[in-house]
Amino acid sequence: MRERSLAARRFSDLLFRILASLAALIGIAFLVWILSVVLSRGIQAINWDFFTQRPAPPGMEGGGVGSAIYGTLLMTGLAVLIGVPTGLLGGVFLAEFGQNTRLGEGVRFTCNLLMGTPTIIVGVFVYIIMVVPMKNFSGYAGAVALAIIMLPVVTRTTEDMLSLVPSALRESALALGAPRWKVTLGVLFPAAKNGLITGILLAVARVTGESAPLLFTALNSPYWPTTLNEPISNLTVTIFNYAMSPYPDWQAMAWGASFLITAGVLGATVFTRGLLWFRSNR
């Protein structure tokens, strides 16, 4: 090996330390930059009307994104109703019935693949299977698209959380003669409750910020939603449309909506992460 002087080695080590610290700082700087911009521009657009009114035509004073907030909540709610039970049961299959089977392996693999699929592809898929046959954009299609995105996430977290439950618990319940379904729902689910709730919350937070799958399923609308069988007003597509518009007051509204989405998604993420951290450190 080539000899290097101690000074040279010390110098390259120092250089590494400085560069590494700098890299970490760059990462944090961008985070702070983005969040501070969203906060400072968003807060200006927020007032009472912002939450209670529906969008006003360009040039008109006032207006808000109340209808979009409502629409986003409606579709996310329906997506939770479809995606969470399916995902929980899928997780039960992976953790309880399919551990070392080839089928289980295949499902787990597909789950990971689906989690890495671009969400806009899910939008195209739902457009073909729902929007085309039903001949109109609808809140149902949007909710299904969001549910498809949630499903693999909920499945994998459920599996992880259930496999953390000690087998002794499972086996003692089974030894008492309890049926499998009762053991799963009555013993394993309560034992893994906190983890499951965390997983579901994170999945919900993730889909709330999604816009690509809604672009051509739920579309958007300036009206209050009356039925889910029509284009539904929603926050993320509203942000997209308003940001691309030439009107300054619409762009300001987009910043307000951005603030709302960021606060919601980051708030939920930080809250659940903090909860997890707090639990594991006590």
Partner 1 sequence: MQLQRQRNFDPAFRWLATGCGLIIVALAAGIFWELYSGSELSRHKFGFGFLVSQSWNPVTEQFGAASSIFGSLVSTAIAMAIAVPLSLIIALFLVELAPPRVSRVVGGAIELLASIPSIIYGMWGLFVFAPFMADHVQPLLAKVGGGLPFFKGPPMGIGMLTAGIILALMVLPFITSVTRDIFTMVPAVVKESAYGMGSTTWEVSRKVTIPYGIQGIVGACFLGLGRAIGETMAVTFVIGNRHEISASLFAAANSIASTLANEFTEASEDIYLSSLVELGLVLFAVTFLLQLAAQLWLKRTKRKMGVA
Site residues for partner 1, 145-174, by CB under 8 A, read 148, 151-152, 155
Residue 227 DSSP SS3: coil
Convert residues 110-149 into a mask of x (bound to partner 1 by CB under 8 A) and - (unbound). xxxxx-xxxxxxxxxx-xxx------------------x-
Burial 150-177 (b: 16+ CB within 10 A, else e): bbbbbbbbbbbbbeebeeeebeebeeee
Separation of alpha carbons 237 and 234, rounded Å: 6
**∠ CA 250-41-36, rounded to 5°:** 145
Site string for partner 1, 227-246 (x = CB under 8 A): ---------x--xx--x---
Site string for partner 1, 176-195 (x = CB under 8 A): -xxxxxx-x-----------
Candidates 65, 68, 78, 92; binder of partner 1 (CB under 8 A) is: 92
Min CB(272)–partner 1 separation in Å:
10
Residues from 13 through 42 that contact partner 1 (CB under 8 A): 13, 15-17, 19-21, 23-24, 26-28, 30-31, 33-35, 37-38, 41
The rounded distance, in Å, linking the Cα atoms of 24 and 121 is: 33
| Contact predicate 262/52, CB 8 Å | no
* Helices 193-208, 248-280: inter-axial angle, 10-degree rounding: 160
Which range in 46-54, 60-68, 188-196, 207-215 contacts partner 1 by CB under 8 A? 207-215
Q: Determine if 97 is a binding residue for partner 1 (CB under 8 A).
A: yes
CA 82 – CA 227 distance, rounded (Å): 18
Check residue 263 for interaction with partner 1 (CB under 8 A).
no
Between CA 169 and CA 9 the distance in angstroms is 55
Contact segment (CB under 8 A) with partner 1 among 50-58, 62-70, 97-105, 191-199 equals: 97-105
